[in-house]
């Protein structure tokens, strides 16, 4: 019997699943980009083993500019209702929160580069990261904690940095990034256009200081997500 695939929704070419795909190695992955499709048709939840929604520069509530976002939010809501293992990253976390009824706060506060987050609750995704890991941030929008969800991580600038809602977990920061992915981001004009002078160099330095230390915990957390997916595949 052919295993059910994991659907990976991307929003720009350079923000792929990175270490998430490595954790899901051996499982069929279907990658789709429907962000600008006004008639986006996505698979049924029952036909999937898991759902991953990646980051991007779009505002999670900009249906006028990016009409495919509405279909993504509907699928996310259905995934939570069905208990489908689901992971939302950055924009993906915001879409998950909106799908569960939370508002988006545009330009709430910019966090770009390596800085700590406070892990405030135990969860398999973050359990091996430690109480205050230094992670990669790249966002300015924020969301409220959805009703009934558990807050997992926070910063002073962004009170909701990670949360779990049943089978779904969202993270505002980027556990999926390794050195190769980060180099791609820093070589992508749209990613660096609004950085302050010297900020890209600071991020490159931060990658040498922090990515290796973050990697073991990220791998273990993503492996825990992948195990939930394998149980359903």
Residues labelled as active-site residues: 90, 174, 176
Cα separation of 211 and 158, whole Å? 21
SS3 108: coil
Q: Say whether 192 sits in a helix, a strand or coil.
A: helix
Burial group, residue 195, by CB count within 10 angstroms (0-12, 13-18, 19+): middle
Q: How far is CA 203 from the centre of its chain?
A: 19
- Token pair belonging to 18: 């990175």
CB of 79 closer than 8 Å to CB of 46: no
Torsion over CA: 40, 45, 49, 52 (sign): positive
3-state class (DSSP) for residue 50 = strand
Q: How remote is the C-alpha of 88 from its chain's centroid?
A: 4
> 27: closest CA among 50, 60, 57?
50
Which candidate, 106, 86, 107, places its Cα nearest to that of 96? 86
Whole-angstrom Cα distance, residue 70 to residue 62? 9
């Amino acid at each position: 019997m052919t295993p059910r695939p994991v659907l990976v929704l991307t929003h720009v070419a350079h923000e792929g699943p990175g270490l998430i795909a490595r954790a899901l190695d051996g499982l069929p992955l279907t990658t789709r980009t429907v962000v600008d499709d006004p008639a986006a048709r996505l698979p049924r939840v029952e036909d999937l083993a898991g759902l991953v929604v990646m980051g991007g520069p779009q505002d999670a509530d900009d249906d006028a500019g990016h009409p495919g976002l509405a279909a993504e939010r509907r699928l996310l809501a259905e995934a939570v209702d069905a208990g489908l293992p689901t992971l939302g990253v950055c924009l993906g976390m915001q879409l998950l929160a909106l799908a569960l009824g939370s508002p988006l706060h545009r330009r709430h506060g910019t966090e770009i580069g390596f800085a700590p987050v406070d892990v405030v609750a135990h969860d398999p995704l973050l359990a091996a990261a430690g109480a205050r890991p230094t992670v990669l941030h790249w966002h300015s929008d924020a969301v409220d904690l959805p009703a009934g969800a558990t807050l997992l991580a926070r910063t002073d600038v962004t009170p909701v940095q990670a949360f779990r809602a049943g089978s779904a977990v969202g993270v505002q920061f980027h556990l999926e990034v390794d050195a190769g992915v980060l180099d791609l981001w820093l070589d992508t004009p749209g990613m660096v256009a609004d950085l302050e002078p010297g900020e890209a160099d600071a991020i490159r330095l931060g990658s040498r200081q922090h990515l290796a230390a973050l990697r073991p915990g990220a791998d273990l957390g993503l492996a825990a997500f992948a195990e939930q997916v394998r149980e359903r595949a």
